[in-house]
Homo-oligomer: A and B are copies of this chain.
């Protein structure tokens, strides 16, 4: 179940990832519990696609040199081997600062052009055990290779692998730029089911808040609001990144790929639209909550007021006739006729009951006219 403590844990994780202030730039700061790297490669061309699991930088280089006219996707999961990462960076001529960005894992989506490759960062939103995991997909895109890094083993890119294996669509024939597009597009498409889940949660919370406004529901609304803000920030940068790619004159993307990237760009705008409308919904829900709470207070106060204003005067009246004014002077026994003669009237009791009944009826009419007896 989604809860506050888990979201807090993820925040802590994020905060702890930085190298100590003042340390040399480009220093790879590994976490002690980082996973061992696993390297999967796809070597593909128009009619073929070969899948391997490699272990060392040498194997990768050999494979790349063996088939320079095919396309290579080197897919690295896990950062737990500093030496390997450094060798890999050197082998592909990658700047140390960018490897630091890969390992650091909290970069905004961006694209950086280098002489012989592009460095692209995408933010991957996933739901694991009902909480939002904000991962990073780092892509190095060269003329005939795509090198990707992710921190965890499982990822959201399986559909792309399936398309590569089955040779569906343009994916095998349209170069490394198209593969990079397919990866970014899959990452963006993955935002939709998450927003769908949030939408359903918001619908459910709306019902809960109207029927019984509880603090738990409020906490959930606030938590979704924060998630939405995080999603908005990520997708806003994704949009800027894609726009930068579209406006730039980078060789790595063909005109054909650009048409598809423009489509992904449109998706980011759709996601922004949805996120913004959900933020409006959370604002409405806050209004609904506050109005429900003050409504409940009004209800409580109305009950108190009705009961009190009916019975307090009645209690006063019966109190009057509970007074012990003497009927006769204790000294000389002379009658004190002015002292509560009602008590000695044959219809005194009945009279008092009737008076009280009349008061109750008048008050009920008053409350009814005020509209206090109807539920609002």
Contacts and interface: CB of A to CB of B under 8 A. Distances in A.
Given A277-B230, A293-B294, A302-B300, A193 B21 contact: yes
How many copies of the chain does the oligomer comprise?
A: 5
A279 to B, nearest CB: 10
A348 B325 contact: yes
In this complex, which of A12, A16, A21, A312 has the most chain B Cβ atoms within 10 angstroms of its Cβ? A21
Interface string A91-109: 0000101001100001110
A226 B281 contact: yes
B101 A266 contact: yes
Contacts of A305: 300-301, 303-304
Given A323-B318, A346-B339, A309 B312 contact: no
A314 B203 CA distance: 45
A247 to B, nearest CB: 16
Interface string A11-30: 11001101111111110000
A319 interface: yes
A1 interface: no
Contact of A15 (B21, B199, B304): B199
A336 B326 contact: no
Interface string A76-103: 0000000000000000000101001100
A376 B214 contact: yes
Interface residues of A, number: 132
B156 A284 contact: no
Contacts of A54: none
Interface of A: 4, 8, 11-12, 15-16, 18-26, 95, 97, 100-101, 106-108, 110, 156-160, 162-163, 168-169, 171, 182, 185-186, 189-190, 192-193, 195-196, 199, 203, 206, 210, 212-215, 218-219, 222, 225-226, 229-230, 233, 259-260, 263, 266, 269-270, 273-274, 276-277, 280-281, 284, 286-305, 307-309, 311-316, 318-331, 335-336, 338-340, 343-350, 352, 370-372, 376
Given A11-B199, A308-B308, 5 more contacts: A101-B266, A218-B287, A291-B293, A307-B308, A308-B309
